[in-house]
Amino acid sequence: MFAACPLHRRLAKLACLLVCLVAGPAEARVDVSQANSGYLGLQLYLGPASGKDLQTLSQAQASGQLQRSQQAVPRFGIGAPAQWLYLPLHNPQPLPVQRTLQIGEAWIDELDLYLLDPQGVLQHVQAGDGQLDRQQASPGMGFLLDVQIPPGDSALYLRVATADALILPMRLLDSQQVALAQQLSQYSYGALYGFLLALIAYNLMLYAGLRETSNLYYSLYLATFILLNLSYTGHAGAWLWPDSLYLKRYSTLLLMMALAWTGLRFARHFLDLASHAPRLDQALRHGSRLAVLLLILCVLADWHALANHLAFASVLLYTLLMVAAGWLSLHHGRVAARYFLAATLCGMLGTALTDLAVWGVIPFNPLTYRAVDLGILLEASLLALALAYQMRQHQQARRQAESLARQDPLTGLLNRRAFLEQGQQLWQDSQRSARPLALIMLDLDHFKQINDQHGHDVGDAGLLATARLLTARSRPDDLLARWGGEEFLLLLPNTQLDDAQALAERLREALLAQPLRCGNARLTLSASFGVAVRAQQASLELLIQAADERLYCAKQSGRNRVCGPAAQPGCCAIGLAAPADK
């Protein structure tokens, strides 16, 4: 009669099921009374991937289908089916023990936890970001599920499902260990985000001041990485879009693609690929646009598995392309590419270590899992150095261009423009202080004949020899310039007329005593000098005009002489026609 009662049969079946489930395989149980923050993967048992209830697991246990995990952190890849996990527990204390199960990453869609003892199901917790009514992930910590473990033997059963990469780091922590883990997580992520935000602010200020596009794209690249990190660690889901299942499902994939796009855009502009590698530049531009459009199509069509593979493939390809672009630019002599290449290699190494840890090739621990964060810190620092080096190069090139714009390319002396700018300051200083100011203008004699008879190389050598002589005989405060052709100007502050004329005479004699070699022959250079002083002129331009008139007087008087404001014996009157050959 007892056996014929359906209720009794169901109760007996349930009792057998609970005993079977709690008893589990005859392996050592996890002693929950001992503080242990290590991963529990090697003490887990893996159940079948089919079914959604404990009956499936009981049948698997009865048939011996449960398998001991061989990984400290079980990993199942992208798009894996739902997984059942079994963890046998033992509490030797007479009272229940409160523990927190830290498991998985923030992107898990469904996580069902069952705590059982021989009397039945003690606790059922539903978590995952697949539904808003489930318990959500704790930012930077994965899922934290509180369980109260009874005395004696018990067991945890978990069913985990996600369309993303399924990786299950699992630890059973007490309250102090949870607090310490949360503190370390907050400090480490705070340091990471603070450092990157400081770099973003710095580069945005540089862009605002210099309008250098590379600084803007670098800031966008770093901002995208921060958003991506916030997304896959659960910070964004808790802070930015807590009520959006759509963003929780696709934000990480979209931001992975955005990171690849902004990184390649920064690389193209920083390395100036359009100038030395135009084909690669076009391929990167069109390829990145195509990848973005394909991912948007997958998101709109809700092809989650395809979107996953496309995003991960794009990030992998992006990393390789960054290294290739850096190497190619270095091969073309771009010095800043050294910093860029070192930076991308650091980022690639960090990403590779994290991927290898996730795939089970190397041990999974906080250091290897967060190697991508360390890699991006090194990458960001080196890229900041690269930008600083590039900025120094631009400043140096600008200063060189400004110097060339103010410098005579042959002699290295100031040109006409620079002389007028600096000479105006000396003129104003002389006026304010009522100090004398003199100007010497000199012109090489018969210079056209030298060029015609001996060639322009000999003429250039004569100009260089004259420039060196004038430089050697002038004072540090004097202003020396090549005025044009074979004419030179020497502006002399704090110099009276007599002193200026005496200096001009010494220069004339020194030039005569300095022959110019022309093959086996020697040429003697001579020059005519005109001297003028500020006291007799109203502006710098008029002073230059007066010196030019005195020079013209010296030419008319036979060349190779000095002519000052007071017409000396032998100087011609002003206004005669200029000679055809200076």
pLDDT digits (tens, 9 = 90+) for 345-399: 898 888 888 877 776 678 878 888 889 899 999 999 888 888 888 788 777 877 7
Same domain, residue pair 420 and 399: no
Q: Based on the domain organization, do 440 and 550 belong to the same domain? A: yes
Q: What is the DSSP letter of 573?
A: P
Average pLDDT over residues 302-326: 89
* Span 398-416, average pLDDT: 84
Establish if 15 belongs to a structural domain. no
Asked, for residue 5, whether it belongs to a domain, the answer is no
d(CA 377, CA 320): 19
Structural domain includes residue 576:
no
Q: Are residues 144 and 281 in the same domain?
A: no
* Tens-place pLDDT, residues 180-196: 999 999 999 999 999 99
Q: What is the mean pLDDT of the chain?
A: 86
Buried b (16+ CB within 10 A) or exposed e, 309-346: ebbbebbeebbebbbbbbebbbeeebebbbbbbbbbbb
Write the CB contacts of 541 (distance below 8 Å, at least 6 apart in sequence): none
Question: What are the angstrom distances between the C-alpha of 222 and each of 196, 271, 376, 413?
Answer: 7, 18, 9, 47
- Core vs surface per residue 56-67: b (16+ CB within 10 A) or e: bbbebbeeeebe
Among candidate residues 374, 403, 432, the one where a domain is terminated: 403
What is the CATH number for 137? 2.60.40.2380
What is the model's pLDDT at position 180? 94
Residue 580 predicted with pLDDT over 50: no
For the segment 215-227, the average pLDDT, to the nearest whole number, is 94
Q: Is residue 48 part of a domain?
A: yes
- 579 found inside a domain: no
**pLDDT single digits (tens) 69-92:** 988 889 888 888 889 999 999 999
Beta-carbon contacts of 276 under 8 Å, excluding residues fewer than 6 positions away, are: 329, 332, 334
Q: Are residues 323 and 434 in the same domain?
A: no
Q: What percentage of the chain has pLDDT greater than the value 70?
A: 91
Domain match, 211 and 322 both: yes
DSSP conformation letters of 132-155 = TTSBPPBTTTBEEEEEEEPSEEEE
User: What is the per-residue pLDDT for 51?
Assistant: 57
In a domain, 408, yes or no: no
Q: What is the pLDDT of residue 366?
A: 81
Boundaries of domain holding 91: 20-173
Q: Is residue 577 part of a domain?
A: no
CATH number of the domain residue 516 falls in: 3.30.70.270
Q: Token pair of 84, please? A: 């059942």
Plot region of 458 (φ>0 → left; ψ -120 to 50 → alpha; else → beta): alpha
* pLDDT of 134 higher than 60: yes
pLDDT value of residue 183:
95
248 and 389 both lie in a single domain = yes
CB 559 within 8 A of CB 453: no
Tell me, yes or no, whether 163 and 28 share the same domain. Answer: yes
Q: Which residues of 507-527 are buried (b: 16+ CB within 10 A; e: fewer)?
A: bbeebeeeebebeeeebebeb
CATH number at residue 222: 1.20.1070
How many domains are contained in the chain? 3
What are the pLDDT digits (tens) for 418-454? 999 999 999 999 999 999 999 999 999 999 998 888 8
What DSSP element (H or E) covers 217? helix 213-232
What is the pLDDT at residue 581? 43
**Please, which residues have CB within 8 angstroms of residue 77's CB and are 6 or more apart in sequence?**
165, 166
- Say yes or no: 334 and 434 in one domain: no
Q: Write the CA distances from 444 to 167, 469, 524, 525, 530, integer angstroms.
A: 85, 13, 11, 7, 12
Is the pLDDT confidence value at 556 over 50? yes
Q: Which helix (H) or strand (E) holds 90?
A: strand 83-91
Q: Name the E strands within 464-567.
A: 479-484, 487-493, 516-518, 521-523, 527-533, 562-563
> Are 359 and 494 part of one and the same domain?
no
Neighbour count for residue 23 (Cβ, 10 Å): 13
Dihedral over Cα of 532, 537, 541, 546: its sign:
negative
Q: Is the pLDDT of residue 5 over 60?
A: no
Least confidently predicted of 305-319, 396-410, 539-553: 396-410
Query: Above 50 in pLDDT, residue 34?
Result: yes
Handedness of CA 572, 577, 579, 582 (dihedral sign): positive
Please tell me whether residue 337 adopts helix, strand or coil conformation: helix
3-state SS record for 400-412:
HHHHHHCECCCCC
| Three-state DSSP class for residue 107 | coil
Are 159 and 84 a contacting pair, CB within 8 Å? yes
Confidence of residue 566 (pLDDT cuts 50, 70, 90): low
pLDDT tens digits, residue range 473-526?
999 999 999 998 999 999 999 999 999 999 999 999 999 998 887 777 688 899
- Residue where a domain terminates, one of 349, 372, 403: 403
Which residues have a Cβ under 8 Å from the Cβ of 336 and sit 6 or more positions away?
270, 271, 386, 389, 390, 393
Say yes or no: 276 and 204 in one domain. Answer: yes
Note whether 160 and 221 are same-domain residues. no
Domain contains 1? no
Last-in-domain residue among 173, 208, 233? 173
What confidence score (pLDDT) does residue 295 get?
96
Whole-angstrom distance, CA of residue 581 vs CA of residue 445: 8
Is the model's pLDDT at 17 over the cut of 70? no
Residues constituting the chain: 582
Same domain as 435, residue 380? no
Specify the pLDDT at position 27.
59
Q: DSSP string of 251-317? A: HHHHHHHHHHHHHHHHHHHHTTHHHH-HHHHHHHHHHHHHHHHHHHHHHHTT-HHHHHHHHHHHHHH
Look at residue 291 and tell me whether its pLDDT is greater than 70. Answer: yes
Residue of 314, 195, 191 lying closest to 259 (CA atoms): 314
Higher local confidence (pLDDT), 572 or 50: 50
Residues of the chain with pLDDT > 90, as a percent, come to 57
Count of beta carbons in the 10 Å neighbourhood of residue 34: 9
Question: Does 229 or 27 have the greater pLDDT score?
Answer: 229
